Amino acid sequence: MKEVIYRGAHLFVWAGSKEKAIVLVHGGKASTEVTKKMGEEYATYFFPAFTIISVDYRFSSYGGKELEDVLKAISYVKNLGIQKIYLIGESHGAYLALLAAAQEEVEGVIDAYGPTDLLRMQTFATKENPQLDIDWADYIQATEKECKESGLGLEECIKRRSPYYLAEEIKAPVLILHGTDDTVVPISQSEILVERFKEIGKRNYQFVPLKGYEHGFSLLEGEVLEKVRAFLNR
Q: How far does the chain reach from its first CA to its final CA, in angstroms? A: 27
| Angle between the N-to-C axes of helices 92-101 and 65-79, in degrees from 0 to 180, rounded to the nearest 10 | 60
Residue 199 domain-assigned (yes or no): yes
- Give a yes or no: residue 149 inside a domain: no
pLDDT for position 62: 52
82 is in which domain, residue-wise?
A: 2-116+164-232
Question: CA geometry: angle at 24 spanning 118 and 30, to 5°?
Answer: 65
- Ranges of residues in the chain with a pLDDT under 70 are 60-64
Q: Do 15 and 22 form a contact (C-beta atoms < 8 A)?
A: no
Residue 60 lies in a domain: yes
33 by Cβ neighbours in 10 Å (0-12 / 13-18 / 19+) ranks as: exposed
Can you give the pLDDT at residue 148?
80
pTM for the whole structure? 0.95
Rounded CA gap, 82 and 48, in Å? Answer: 14
Cis preceding-peptide flag for 115 (omega within 30 of 0): no
Kind of pairing, strands 20-25 and 51-55?
Answer: parallel
Closest CA to 5 of 97, 73, 79: 73
Task: Give the torsion through C-alpha atoms of 208, 65, 45, 19, to 10 deg.
Answer: 100
Asked whether 220 and 41 are in contact (CB, 8 A), the reply is: yes
Residue 64, pLDDT score: 64
Look at residue 151 and tell me if it is in a domain. Answer: no
* Distance in angstroms (rounded) separating the CA atoms of residues 131 and 114: 18
In-domain check, residue 154: no
Please report whether residue 49 resides in a domain: yes
User: For residue 91, what is the domain's CATH number?
Assistant: 3.40.50.1820
Q: What is the DSSP letter of 232?
A: H
* Number of structural domains the chain divides into: 1
pLDDT reported for residue 63 = 53
Give domain status of residue 88, yes or no.
yes
* Residue 109, domain member (yes or no): yes
